[in-house]
Amino acid sequence: MPNPNRGACGFQSSEFEEEYDRPSKSELKRQMTVLQKLGEDLVAEPRDRVKRVPMPEDVRDAILECQRITDHEGRRRQLQFVGKKMRTLDEEEVAAIQRTIDSWKGMSKADTAAMHALERRREKLLADDKALTVLLGEHPELDAQHLRTLIRNARKEQAENKPPKAYREIFQILKQVAGKGKAAQADDEGAEDEADDE
């Protein structure tokens, strides 16, 4: 027969349960792992880039110090320290750092695409004489005779498996031309913006 007094003591067991609104241990661990990875990403970047990231001085110093350490165990310990420092940041600071890293990745993708385009153009110059005519038509300031010599030498280098000196020089010329084109385009856009403002 069931006991009539059981559960009728005047209180509910849920009254003694603590309010638990903190994140779980596994959620905290996930957050710590994300911050540790963010710190490692910063350590992997060049020093001049890290110096431009908006973050507290002590966090930046820990990252720059880690970049200087070459000893495996010392570097591992310093990376742990960087992770600890990253956990002191508030959400806004972490978001600002993440935006900066994301912008670098976007820039590097664009840079890589531009470099591949230059390499394809160089290959066309070596494969087809008409490509030089097109290039000179777009950029009449280039020295046609010098370019013809470079192309001839680059073809010879490839045929004889020699070091690609002329091949690299062609790439540098194409890079300079592309850089001038970007600068001119930026100037044109700036002039258009000023005209719009007036």
Lowest mean pLDDT, pick from 26-30, 42-46, 77-81, 193-197: 193-197
Task: Spell out the alpha helix ranges (H) of 4-71.
Answer: 25-44, 47-52, 57-68
Residue 150 has a pLDDT of 93
Could you tell me if 50 and 60 are in contact, meaning their C-beta atoms sit under 8 angstroms apart?
yes
Nearest Cα neighbor of 63 from 73, 33, 47 is 47
Q: Is the pTM of this model over 0.85?
A: no
Lowest mean pLDDT, pick from 6-10, 26-30, 58-62, 163-167: 6-10
Query: What b/e sequence results for 171-195 when a residue is b if at least 16 CB atoms lie within 10 Å of its CB, and e otherwise?
Result: bebbeebbeeeeeeeeeeeeeeeee
Distance (Å, whole) CA 194 – CA 188 = 10
Nearest Cα neighbor of 59 from 97, 95, 91, 86 is 86
User: Three-class SS of residue 129?
Assistant: helix
Residue 2 has a pLDDT of 56
Distance (Å, whole) CA 6 – CA 72 = 63
Nearest Cα neighbor of 64 from 79, 54, 72 is 79
CA angle 135, 137, 142 (to 5 degrees): 65
Question: What mean pLDDT comes out for the span 108-136?
Answer: 86
Distance (Å, whole) CA 193 – CA 163 = 47
Radius of gyration of the chain from Cα atoms? 30
Range ranked top by mean pLDDT from 7-16, 88-97, 136-145? 136-145
